[in-house]
Amino acid sequence: MQVTKAIITCGGYSTRFLPITKSVPKEMLPIHNKPIIHYIVEELQQAGITDILILCGRGREVTQNYFDKNFEVDTVLERKGVNIELNPFRDLNIMFKRVAMPRGSADCIYHAKQWVGNEPFVVAYSDDLFLGGNPTQELLDAYKKFKKPLLTTTQVPDGEQHKYGIIRLDKRQYIDEIIEKPMQNPPSNLAVVGRYLLTKDFFKFFEEDRKTLASDKEVCTTAQLNKFTKTTGLRYVTTEAKRFDTGQPVGWLDANLWVLTNFVN
């Protein structure tokens, strides 16, 4: 089945980037002259995704405005004879859904249940930025081959594994288990990063787990991803792209330096 849908999670409190994120959503922070979410939507578009659902928490109105046609600015530019492409995503079907209360990535993704229906879908975390490659395209290519849900991984150095979900592989090199932020004895150097290709089983797994969760507890997706490993199987792609954690100031600055060095004349 062809994959045409993707969701982008913009639900959380962005505590690692306070105080600016009190009033500027982290996905709207600029990398050179474009917000982070622009690069993510561009990545999805270039991979052939046509339908995008952006899951927005409180205060994300400016994120939605960014995708509007701005007649006023368009008119001013036209009068001045300036030619800047302000609506590169006009052919995409972009929708927004409000997330009333941030309760972690799993709960955020669950808000897409009805929209997703029966189709496989891509999940993009809005603070994971990939440059110099297209991890969504890598997922779609691998899906054609394996026909299984997939995760994107990246190699991290020893000593860094405690910051990520780390995958353990079985003898066939399939994912056996994901260990979330292992404090000791990490099973590999392959860290799960913010692009997945999932099926509707995710929603069933989340419904099962939700019964035992406190309503105010933030839940990451690792428990549900581990259920894939035990049922349908879960594969991975190690991305060729460079990954930046733009959810915190140093990662955001690194991404800007990378773009300035590689793209901007």
192 binds ligand G1P (CB under 6 A): yes
**CA–CA separation, 159 and 256 (whole Å):** 25
Closest distance to ligand G1P from the beta carbon of 104 (Å): 8
C-alpha span between 188 and 40 (Å, rounded): 28
Q: What DSSP assignment string belongs to 18-47? A: TTGGGTS-GGGSEETTEEHHHHHHHHHHHT
**Cβ distance 147 to 199 under 8 Å?**
no
Nearer to ligand G1P, 95 or 220 (CB): 220
193 belongs to the binding site for ligand G1P (CB under 6 A): yes
Binding positions for ligand G1P, 129-188, rule CB under 6 A: 164-165, 180
Assigned token pair, 42: 């561009």
Residue 113, CA distances (Å) to 7, 104, 118, 233 in order: 11, 16, 9, 21
Pick between residue 110 and residue 125 the one whose CB is nearest to ligand G1P: 125
Q: Write the binding mask 73 to 112 for ligand G1P: x where contact by CB under 6 A, - elsewhere.
A: ----------------------------------------
Q: Which of 11, 135, 194, 251 binds ligand G1P (CB under 6 A)?
A: 194
Q: Are residues 26 and 33 in contact, defined by beta-carbon separation less than 8 angstroms?
A: no
Nearer to ligand G1P, 81 or 157 (CB): 157
Integer Cα distance of 74 and 95 in angstroms: 22
Q: Determine, following the binding rule CB under 6 A, whether residue 10 of this chain makes contact with ligand G1P.
A: no
In the complex, which residue's CB is closest to ligand G1P? 165
Site of interaction with ligand G1P (CB under 6 A): 125, 128, 164-165, 180, 191-194, 220, 222
